[in-house]
Amino acid sequence: MELPPPASSTANIGAAAARGIEDPFDAFNAASGQGNVRDPYPLFAQMRGNAGVHLIELPQGEPGTPSASPLLSALGREVFLAVSYEAVKEVLTDADRFTSRGYAKSMGQVMGHSILEMDGGEHTRHRKLLNRAFTRAALKRWELDLVRPAIDRYIDAFVESGRGDLVRGLCFPFPVEVIAGMIGVPESQHADFHRLAVELISVSFNFEQGKAASQQLGEMFRPLVEERRVNPGVDLISVLAAAEVDGVKLDDEQIFAFLRLLAPAGAETTYRSSSNLLFGLLSNPAQLDALRKDPSLMPQAIEEGIRWEGPLLTIMRQATRDTRVAGVAIPEGASVVVNVGSANRDERAFEDPERFDIHREHTVPHMGFAFGSHLCLGIHLARMETRVLLEALFERLPGMRLDPEADDVHITGMVFRSPLSLPVVFEPGPVSRAGAS
């Protein structure tokens, strides 16, 4: 059973399809294996059993085919895939041997020069600058002013019915509204912002569309940056417009690059990780009930969800010199794809790794937020959003469980992973939550 999303500009990205225009969200999901690749983990386990690193030959497609994409071509014909926990950790923590600069030839073509492709002192300086935007006070303000109000508005749309789809009706739209609000995008532009963010990261299979989306996002941000330079507020654009690196203020293109990176990263990954955690909880009612009764389990439940089913399986690095990992020779300049999803299921690092268990003691750090100097910049924001989401669901949807009438519900994807839907039933409640003003 598929339920419609709430009548909101942010949730209504699918309106393009109603006008005869392909929904970029659906196109992106299809290209990343959503709905087709259900369980890649047995393959990853087999690969780990054979070696920690594998050489993969990529097809060189004819012009106009997906495999001929400039982004895929930037990887080269031969790519090394790290699949074991130790191999992935070694690559991600050694920035001298493995650089992020390779992203300049791929995502940098549409994002601009961002911290995604920076290393060394440049990365450290920009990361410190950007960290000023994610202070504890800012997180608290976002939680009260953006996150919980957005979540409640989407719950309001279906709370009286006693049933809903937590993906399209909640997990998918609310992080976009939060990111747009954090950046300072006017509400009237939220739908366009989300559409362009999805089109931007669809660049691997539609390069021209991705380039066009990048340009349009820059055009959206430009007047906002100009206005904040004169009348600063508390949003991210104001923080970036006032920031300096080595005594020099960021120019417009530097600000645009960070905002382009944040737009999809802050929304897509949060929506997928929260959906995956909810799937794990709803598929294990005893654990769902334990978490509902004992909120102190929340932090470890969130970490287990990220370990068990993270939103993104792979990250890319490039070898800076001839080297070896897990006994495999890797030449200078070679692309190295690290499979963090495989690392998080490595039986040598985690006991019974296929099992979802919120009671698991995380003595070994998972790789769901990456590792090393490029640890996810929004890690605390993602954790906060997920916590507030669960708190709201437990408060407002008593008895929440998977809809027994729904078809087989599961997580899919080979690059990005999440369920396409999460149909639930619960005890109907009032639109206005208790204590809300």
Q: Tens digits of per-residue pLDDT, 216-274? A: 999 999 999 999 999 998 888 998 888 777 777 788 888 898 898 887 777 778 899 99
pLDDT at res. 176: 85
pLDDT at res. 61: 53
The answer to whether residue 2 sits within a structural domain is no
419 backbone dihedrals φ, ψ, rounded to 5°: -75, 145
374, pLDDT greater than 80: no
CA 290 to CA 394: how far, in whole Å? 12
With beta carbons less than 8 A apart as the criterion, state whether 208 and 109 touch. no
52, pLDDT greater than 80: yes
57, pLDDT greater than 90: no
With beta carbons less than 8 A apart as the criterion, state whether 103 and 318 touch. no
The answer to whether residue 5 sits within a structural domain is no
DSSP 58: P
The answer to whether residue 1 sits within a structural domain is no
How many helices (H) and strands (E) the chain has is answered by 18, 14
What torsion do the CA atoms of 418, 380, 258, 312 make, to the nearest 10 degrees?
A: -20
Give me 204's structure tokens. Answer: 């691997």
Helix, coil or strand: residue 81: strand
What's the domain count of the chain? 1
CA 237 to CA 228: how far, in whole Å? 7
The answer to whether residue 3 sits within a structural domain is no
Neighbours of 402 (CB within 10 A): 19
410, pLDDT greater than 70: yes
Q: Rounded to the nearest 10 degrees, what angle do helices 252-282 and 298-308 cross at? A: 100
Look at residues 343, 366, 327, 321 and name the one whose alpha carbon lies nearest to residue 53. Answer: 327
Look at residues 317, 309, 337 and name the one whose alpha carbon lies nearest to residue 39. Answer: 309
pLDDT at res. 9: 31
Largest pairwise CA distance in the chain: 63
Q: How many residues does the chain have?
A: 437
- Calculate mean pLDDT across residues 319-326: 96
Q: How far is CA 416 from the centre of its chain?
A: 8
The answer to whether residue 406 sits within a structural domain is yes
Residue 319's alpha-carbon distances to 48, 291, 307, 338, in angstroms, are 21, 43, 26, 12
Angle at 56 between CA 50 and CA 61, to 5 degrees: 155
CA 303 to CA 427: how far, in whole Å? 28
- Calculate mean pLDDT across residues 55-59: 81
Neighbours of 424 (CB within 10 A): 25
335-339 vs 78-82, strand pairing mode = parallel
Look at residues 431, 417, 429, 423 and name the one whose alpha carbon lies nearest to residue 38. Answer: 417
The answer to whether residue 304 sits within a structural domain is yes
Find all residues with CB under 8 Å of 272, minimum gap 6, and list them. 311, 312, 416, 417, 418
Residue 146's CATH number: 1.10.630.10
pLDDT at res. 71: 58
With beta carbons less than 8 A apart as the criterion, state whether 95 and 355 touch. no
Helix/strand/coil percentages in the chain, nearest 5: 55, 10, 35
The answer to whether residue 430 sits within a structural domain is no
The verdict on pTM exceeding 0.95 is no
- Calculate mean pLDDT across residues 330-347: 95
Look at residues 374, 386, 15, 437 and name the one whose alpha carbon lies nearest to residue 192. Answer: 15
The answer to whether residue 48 sits within a structural domain is yes
CA 211 to CA 110: how far, in whole Å? 5
Q: How far is CA 102 from the centre of its chain?
A: 20
pLDDT at res. 221: 94
pLDDT at res. 136: 85
pLDDT at res. 243: 78
Give me 223's structure tokens. Answer: 């007047």
Element (H, E) at 79: strand 78-82
Helix, coil or strand: residue 224: helix
What torsion do the CA atoms of 265, 269, 271, 274 make, to the nearest 10 degrees?
A: -140
Out of 260-274, 389-403, 408-422, pick the least confident: 260-274
Out of 62-71, 125-134, 197-206, 232-241, pick the least confident: 62-71
Domain, as residue range, for 209: 11-425
